[in-house]
Amino acid sequence: MEDERKDILIIGGGPGGYVAAIRAAQLGAEVALIEKDTLGGTCLNRGCIPTKCFLQSASVLQQVRKADSFGILVESSSLDFKAVSARKDKVVRRSVDALSLLMAKNKITVIKGSAAIAGWGKVQVVGDEQRMIKANKVIIATGSQPASLPIEGINQQGVIDSDEALAIEQVPKSMIIIGGGVIGLEFAQIFHRMNTKVTVIEMMPQVLPNEDTEIAQMLEEILTGGGIDIYTSTQVHSIGANEQGDKTVLFTTPQGEGKLTANKVLIAVGRSPYIKDLGLEKLGIALDRRRIIVNERMETNATDVYAIGDVIGGVMLAHVATAEGRCAAQNAMGIDSEMDYRAVPRCIWTSPEVAAVGLTEKEARGRYDNVRVGKFPFRGSGKALIFDETDGIVKIITEEKYGQILGAHIIGPRATNLIAEATLAIKLGATVEDIKQTMHAHPTLSEAFWEASLDVSGETIHQ
């Protein structure tokens, strides 16, 4: 087949790649997007969307179980896991179909196949047929894959990763989850609410190791109080199997050696950049371990080659990849753009939800001489009382001189929605006084953020 030429070629159709494609097309480029699997990447097919579908089903099940507290009598409730999985698949299909329509609307050529850089401005595609695509600019958005650990027995049947957990056909009676970060805790609550006996093992001293210690400790207490066993500061040594085929996990805690047995073991220790067979060496593209090195304009060291999303490491979140995709596409089209990572919201869809933006209290105290903190508990929120979801707090961290907001941390109902106000505040350099002087509707959960801002100076009303 004769070589094809495009203005911009994008490798990978996840939330970074497809957004870059659409933005470049909006700016007048002829764009081709290569995807070896399904449009939407990990987020849409094996990450954000399907996990939140499972979490929503688990949440509805939990609501039904406590319906009597709202004056609603439900005679019985049971889990139909096949129906839960079918709903998840339906939501994913609809999202993929909608994305395909967006590609067509923006006149983006979508090519299914594996891509490898063949030289400057040249990418070889291997799919149903081989073809060579030439492009003025190339954007690499190949994402990531589940990370693994050097643990004996990790590759045996019954030890699964997050991708496999989403494709599981029946709910196990028991599960050990290695990793107490976002992925591990979300799956812990999914399966726990579906009547699986769940144990989480985390190597670091706290779950959610990158989040504010106070918030992480509160979540751990809530999860353990609900029946999930959690081991922190614990190192896994090996995974074996007994005569019944169940998995045995050997580990060391600060108190000594331990052993646990479960039907399944889920490895949830994050993800690593995917660069396999990309041909990066053809252009001498610089790497730091497995991640592609870029500058603030998303440029690699190779002329006219950009990289975005999980493949560059950093904050591996879909909305970060989206922002990086826009940035790369605009630079590729001659619009000078730089990434700003000061205000990146971080969300965990457990119940209660956790969300954060900016610095943790420990980070803030390490960078500033004087820091002030305001807090407000959801038990003082009328709306939280209406929801019967009063666990958690809003926490705002400011520097003392000007009152500029440095970080915000929320654990409680709808935290992942509430964090938007804090994210905008940090992006705009807002002060705590700006929040105090902004009216918040009543009764809403957002009042808790306002009350926390008042608490910075000891002016809170409902505490």
Say which CATH number the domain at 441 has.
Answer: 3.30.390.30
Whether residue 340 is contained in a domain is answered as no
Residue type at 301 in one-letter notation: N
Question: In whole angstroms, what is the distance from residue 91 CA to residue 79 CA?
Answer: 19
Whether residue 463 is contained in a domain is answered as no
pLDDT tens per residue, range 65-103: 999 999 999 988 899 999 999 999 999 999 999 999 999
- DSSP H helical segments within 106-194, as ranges? 162-166, 182-193
Residue 3's pLDDT is what?
Answer: 67
Q: Are residues 192 and 92 in the same domain?
A: no
Residue 101's pLDDT is what?
Answer: 97
pLDDT tens per residue, range 297-331: 999 999 999 999 999 998 999 999 999 999 999 99
Q: How many domains does the chain have?
A: 3
pLDDT tens per residue, range 223-237: 999 999 999 999 999
Q: Where in the sequence is the domain holding 234, given as residue range(s)?
A: 159-269
Q: Any idea what the Cα angle at residue 18 is, between residues 15 and 24, rounded to 5°? A: 130
| Interval 122-126 mean pLDDT | 93
DSSP 133-154: EEEEEEEE---EEE-----BTT
Q: Are residues 250 and 277 in the same domain?
A: no
Residue after which a domain boundary falls, among 248, 269, 290: 269
Q: Which of 210, 203, 209, 207 is nearest to 221 (CA)?
A: 207
pLDDT class of 4 with cuts at 50, 70, 90: confident
pLDDT tens per residue, range 142-177: 999 988 888 999 999 999 999 999 999 999 999 999
The answer to whether 116 and 131 are in contact (CB under 8 A) is no
The partner residues of 124 in beta bridges, in order of sequence, read 116, 132
Q: Are residues 416 and 313 in the same domain?
A: no
Tally of CA atoms within 13 A in the half-sphere of 198 that contains its CB: 27
Residue 300's pLDDT is what?
Answer: 97
Q: CB neighbours (10 Å) of residue 315?
A: 14
pLDDT tens per residue, range 127-145: 877 889 999 999 999 999 9
Would residue 403 be called left, alpha or beta, if left means φ above 0 and alpha means ψ between -120 and 50 degrees? left
Q: Are residues 311 and 442 in the same domain?
A: no
For the chain, the average pLDDT equals: 95
- Tell whether the model's pLDDT for residue 454 goes beyond 80: yes
The answer to whether 158 and 150 are in contact (CB under 8 A) is no
Q: Are residues 10 and 141 in the same domain?
A: yes
| Interval 175-183 mean pLDDT | 97
Which of 237, 319, 409, 442 is catalytic? The answer is 442
Question: In whole angstroms, what is the distance from residue 441 CA to residue 280 CA?
Answer: 53
Q: Are residues 30 and 140 in the same domain?
A: yes
Q: Are residues 12 and 122 in the same domain?
A: yes
- Tell whether the model's pLDDT for residue 117 goes beyond 70: yes
The phi, psi pair for 28, rounded to 5°, reads: 100, 10
- Tell whether the model's pLDDT for residue 2 goes beyond 70: no
pLDDT tens per residue, range 369-424: 999 999 999 999 999 999 999 999 999 999 999 999 999 999 999 999 999 999 99
Q: Are residues 376 and 426 in the same domain?
A: yes
pLDDT class of 15 with cuts at 50, 70, 90: very high
The answer to whether 375 and 385 are in contact (CB under 8 A) is no
Q: Are residues 29 and 137 in the same domain?
A: yes
Residue after which a domain boundary falls, among 252, 269, 286: 269
Tell me 276's DSSP state.
T
Cα of first residue to Cα of last residue in the chain, in angstroms, is 72
Q: Can 462 be counted among the known catalytic residues?
A: no
pLDDT tens per residue, range 235-284: 999 999 988 889 999 999 999 999 999 999 999 998 999 999 999 999 99
- Tell whether the model's pLDDT for residue 125 goes beyond 60: yes
Question: In whole angstroms, what is the distance from residue 323 CA to residue 305 CA?
Answer: 17
The answer to whether 172 and 164 are in contact (CB under 8 A) is no
At residue 361, the 3 state secondary structure works out as helix
